[in-house]
A and B are shown apart, each in its own frame.
Chain A
Amino acid sequence: MSLAADARNLGAAEPLMRIDDLTIRFKLGQGLSGIMSDQPKHLDAVDRVSLDIRKGEVLGLVGESGSGKTTLGKAILRLYDAHQGSISFRGTDITRLRGSSLKALRRDLQMIFQDPASSLNPRQTVRTVLATPLLLHRICRPDEVDRKVDEILTQVGLSPTFRSRFPHELSGGQLQRVAIGRALTLSPDLIVADEAVSKLDVSVRSQILNLFRDIQDELGTTMVFITHDLHVARYLCHRIGVMYFGKLLELGPTNEIYENPRHPYTEALLGTLKPTVKDDPDVPVEEAGEAYNPTGETVGCRYYARCPYRVDQCKTAHPPLEDISDEHKVACYEWRRIGQR
């Protein structure tokens, strides 16, 4: 079964999570220096993003560093508060949950981090790492914890002898397996994996990617996979969203994004992936331009300065996300001119 076919089947299902017009705002320059300067006091790391996450899919979020993909991932987990907009999870707005209902929500949403060395507490053994959430959320009785820990270790491809190890006794790949196991302890509905393989050696990377795929096949866990690596995204994801300076620029099934990109930025990203495209004289090459300044007063398209297709309209406002087919959305006024070859 191809990924594209998967995505079409999934399209019919009710979304597990609906992100609607979400803005995550960071305050800047507090303290003495903030009072003295006249710089803007905030930065919208995620800027009015709307997105559905479907049950059982792997949604890729790609973009360069600073594009807001990690912030969006953490916002999904309620690690940041929404400045504007809402996140609905299984039909309930979770943006304003507090106290015990927030704690109950935590069970269903988990995260896997980029740096395996920093993602485990150096003072805790593997057993403690895996047992603490099990006990806190009363997943199993205290006398069953060891059996459950072994089960999880086996699931992520580690032998139960790893139970008593400390993080400094594990390799990067083993650490990441434990971190994945920790995310699985509570059988979450949604896992956000933030650059989960980018700090690993190439040989280990493919093993961990296969582990993600196995877990996905076996448990059908919905995943948001954040990456800057387009190969990784293509291998693992059913759908891909492309982000740039807090905006979602393009969203569609993986094959569609790779075969038929309709945003100049996606095209430029893929140009770095497929060197042959650059050799084609008809395809405009990305111009070296000054990137968008997120703290400035600029209106208009975020990609304007670097865009080879720009027209006057692009200066007026950032283009809205537009449906160009059932599954494919693009935020570009000039999308009809792009990718037609």
Chain B
Amino acid sequence: MGFIWYLIIRLGGALVTIAIGAVFVFILMQLIPGDPAIAALGENATDENVAAFRRVHGLDQPLPVQFWIWLTGIVQGDFGTSITLAQGYPVWDLMVQRLPNTLFIAVYALLIAVVIAFFAGSIAALRQGKMSDTAATSASVLGISMPDFWLSYVLILVFSLGLGVLPAFGFTSPMVSFSGALVNGALPAFAIAAPMAGVFARILRAALLETKRRDYVTAARSFGFRDTFVYMHYIFRNALIPFVTVIGVQVRYLVGGTVIIERIFGIAGLGSMMVDGAFGRDYAVVQACMLAFLVFVLGVNLIVDIICAFLDPRRTH
């Protein structure tokens, strides 16, 4: 019962956040200098042509009216029409083509980061002070310190140009070939994952060490519980709470990462679409992409909070 209420409150909160986010996204786009009419028609367009363009796309309406038209459209599933990037195309159609690519890379990177952190963090904590701990901790610092765009080029240099095992550019949509997407997405996903894995591993190590020295762990040992039982039920589950929480916090870096990495590796995703849209002053495109990222971040955080609620009775009780 408590949990259902918790879920309803969290979902309501997420909807409010999205609504506020939508207002900010809209205002932000209006604040950017530049005119979509000029961007579409060129510097030499006549005043009449510009005025006509603005009338056709509703840009001559007062801002609150423009916002209302955009918002009511979104509620009905209509994200507007691209005005400069792909003139006349519904933004939704563009997103549907590109969303799977970005989602795939983001989830791929998140999984790589979690798996690496899981092993590196656990080994470091279990063998605290030993050589393997020093190695895992140093690798984490290295991961955190390397900028993702720089790491991308190093990866391309080593795996594409040097060893020739993975492609440097281009991407296969997971909708076309899942295994192709796995191979082609390996380098970009790893480039995004490395800094996150470093952060995750350090958090997990610290949490495990902190939990390991708790008295209830000693008590459990003194009852004669098996080591694996103590590790799973008393150490690991409690250490998981800060670990999972930090995943939610780091998701925003995941989004920022995809925007840059998609450009470098030539992936037709939401990130590169948003950058192109911003240069072309294509309001509807940028606003739709930003909203999609917002929903993604909120969605992951909601999942993280639900996992935490299961792990920690204090959240719902």
Contacts and interface: CB of A to CB of B under 8 A. Distances in A.
A136 to B, nearest CB: 7
A163 B129 CA distance: 40
B83 to A, nearest CB: 54
Contacts of B129: 30-31, 34
Nearest to A128: B233
B224 A136 contact: yes
A118 B220 CA distance: 12
Given A123-B238, A123-B313, A32 B223 contact: no
B249 to A, nearest CB: 21
Contacts of B314: 122, 166, 168
Contacts of B133: 31
B222 A77 contact: yes
A121 B313 contact: no
B218 A137 contact: no
A137 B134 contact: no
Contacts of B134: 31-32
A102 B222 contact: no
A270 to B, nearest CB: 30
A136 B215 contact: no
Given A31-B131, A31-B133, A110 B222 contact: yes
A136 B222 contact: no
A186 interface: yes
B55 interface: no
A113 B222 CA distance: 12
A19 to B, nearest CB: 18
* Chain B residues touching A, range: 20 to 34
A120 interface: yes
A39 interface: no
Given A118-B214, A121-B238, A182 B219 contact: yes
A80 B134 CA distance: 25
B216 A136 contact: no
Nearest to B310: A123
A90 to B, nearest CB: 17
A79 interface: yes
Nearest to A194: B215
A201 B311 CA distance: 31
B31 to A, nearest CB: 46
A79 B221 contact: yes
Interface string B104-133: 000000000000000000000000011101
A327 interface: no
A148 interface: no
B10 interface: no
Given A30-B129, A137-B224, A111 B238 contact: no
Interface string B197-228: 00000000000000000111011111111000
Nearest to B216: A121
A133 interface: yes
A298 interface: no
B24 to A, nearest CB: 36
**Residue from B218, B221, B233 having most chain A Cβ neighbours under 10 A:** B218
B312 interface: yes
B225 to A, nearest CB: 7
A213 interface: no
A26 B123 CA distance: 22
A166 B317 contact: yes
A104 B224 CA distance: 8
Interface string B25-62: 00000000000000000000000000000000000000
Interface of A: 30-32, 34, 74, 77, 79, 102-107, 109-111, 113-115, 118-123, 125, 132-133, 136-137, 166, 168-169, 179, 182, 186
10 contacts: A31-B131, A31-B134, A102-B224, A113-B215, A115-B215, A119-B219, A121-B234, A122-B313, A122-B314, A123-B237
